[in-house]
Amino acid sequence: MRYLKTFKEAVIAPYDFDEALSKLKEKETLSIEDMQSELGHMGVEFVDVDEFVRNLETDKEKELVPIDMPPLMGGIRWGAHNVYNNKMYICVKPNEFNAALNNMRPQLFAFLREVLRHESIHRQQAERRPGVTIRNLERSPVDPKKYFGSTDEIMAYADSFIVQCRNRGMSDDQILDAISKGSKVSWIQNVYANVAPESRSRFNKYVYQYLKGEPVKESSKVDELIQKKLSGKKLTIDEFTAVHKWMMDNDEDYRKKVDAELNKDIKKHIPKKKGNK
């Protein structure tokens, strides 16, 4: 398609929360405890803002927490993946959330599904960087260009955009037509209409990849090697090279991290010029 620029990054399939959410929908009454019991095994944790802050590592992360921001819907304040403990947090105002679970469940679950999928993409992005810590919680919508221009966020928001469109009853062809013609159908699309051209093109490309069924599956050889590394097992030289090559080809943040470390190493090995005596 002519509006798509070529990028090597492959999109990551979000977790499938539909079965768990459908099971919860059938309950006559729901509480935060019920939600935690059903979704906890998938890495989800429902927390209040104090618990959320306690689990952050850096001062910058803590400073950026939008403590005074009102809930987005039904007591849900925000979702966030914590790279240090690999949990997907859903930060809530407990009383409002408990009430919404029983008073506005269909709307709440539609929004929660979108947030969970978004954070599950971030979780997998982090898991594909063994040994590399990208402090994603040090990025904030307060700086829209930096936040929405991040490769990680562009990919996750591409899926969120599709979810919003499908919730409106749009077909895949209608979604592609909307981004091709610039028809505004979502606030996410409005955001990416005002970012750098490269970020906008990458967003369009990711939307196209998700709709055309090109996400990377967890059964791939590289995923197996990454899981081997995460389990504490040592990779062979060939296996390490395969993971490194895949990461360099598919992950912009990883490339930047490697480039920064390479520059440091090069400087260490540059011989110092002897001063004139």
pLDDT category of residue 57 using cuts at 50, 70 and 90: confident
Helices and strands in the chain: count of H runs, count of E runs: 14, 3
pLDDT category of residue 277 using cuts at 50, 70 and 90: very low
Tokens representing 184? Answer: 């505004």
pTM of the model: 0.74
CB-based contacts of 148, cutoff 8 Å, min separation 6 = 141, 154, 157, 191, 192, 195, 199
Listed residue (267, 118, 268, 95) closest to 206, CA to CA: 118
**Average pLDDT in the 88-117 region?**
96
Would the pLDDT of 228 be above 80? no
pLDDT on residue 193: 86
CA distance 246 to 130: 12
CB-CB contact of 130 with 226 (8 Å): yes
Tokens representing 119? Answer: 């954070």
Task: Please classify residue 153 by burial: count the beta carbons closer than 10 Å to its beta carbon, then call 0-12 exposed, 13-18 middle and 19+ buried.
Answer: buried
Please give the helix or strand (H or E) that residue 78 lies within, else none: strand 76-82
* Terminal Cα-to-Cα distance of the chain (whole angstroms): 65
Tokens representing 8? Answer: 């090597």
**Average pLDDT in the 35-53 region?**
96
- For residue 186, count other CB atoms closer than 10 A to its CB: 21
Q: What angle do CA 64, 147, 184 make, to 5 degrees?
A: 125
Task: Indicate the SS3 state at residue 88.
Answer: strand
CA distance 242 to 182: 39
List 45's β-bridge partners, or say none: 89
Domains of the chain by residue range: 18-211, 221-269
Q: Does residue 254 or residue 166 have the better pLDDT? A: 166
Tokens representing 159? Answer: 């899926």
**Average pLDDT in the 163-170 region?**
96
